Amino acid sequence: MFLAEASIQLVPDGTLLLHLFVIFFMVFVLNRTLLKPINRILAEREKQIGGRLSEAQRLSAEAEEKTRTYQAALRDARNEGYRLLEKERAAGLKDKDEKVRQHREQLSRKVAQEVDSIQKQQEKVKGELEAQADSMGILISSQILRRRN
């Protein structure tokens, strides 16, 4: 019979109610002292993380907008630089063409002067040659005529 007394009792007695009361009391005490403060701390951390995440997203959006603005300004500056380079190149070509035209005119005048000078020299030499030919002709004819005399 000794074994029968040590067996498990299936019929609830008053200790069951006491155990349930102790469990509910411990849940209440733990909820008030431990779980609510931990949940509050976790909620604050979640709120801070959410705030920091939204701040990071806002800063990222600002950085992207500034990057777009910078790239647009850089593109405009590059276009302006190319336009100025093209303008300077066109002005340089125009200046070069003007100088070439002036040099051509100057060379044309010099060539015309030289041609004039050469023609005058040619006429002068031609006149001198004709004069010398005449004098040589006279000299030759006088020598020929003297011999015949």
What's the pLDDT tens digit per position in 15-74? 878 888 999 999 999 888 888 888 888 889 888 888 888 888 999 999 999 999 999 999
pLDDT surpasses 80 at 131: yes
How far from 35 is each of 29, 46, 48, 51, CA to CA, in Å? 9, 16, 20, 24
Tokens of 120: 């005058």
The whole-model pTM stands at 0.44
Q: What is the DSSP track for 58-108?
A: HHHHHHHHHHHHHHHHHHHHHHHHHHHHHHHHHHHHHHHHHHHHHHHHHHH
| Torsion over CA: 50, 51, 52, 54 (sign) | positive
pLDDT confidence band for 147 (50 / 70 / 90): low
pLDDT surpasses 50 at 145: yes
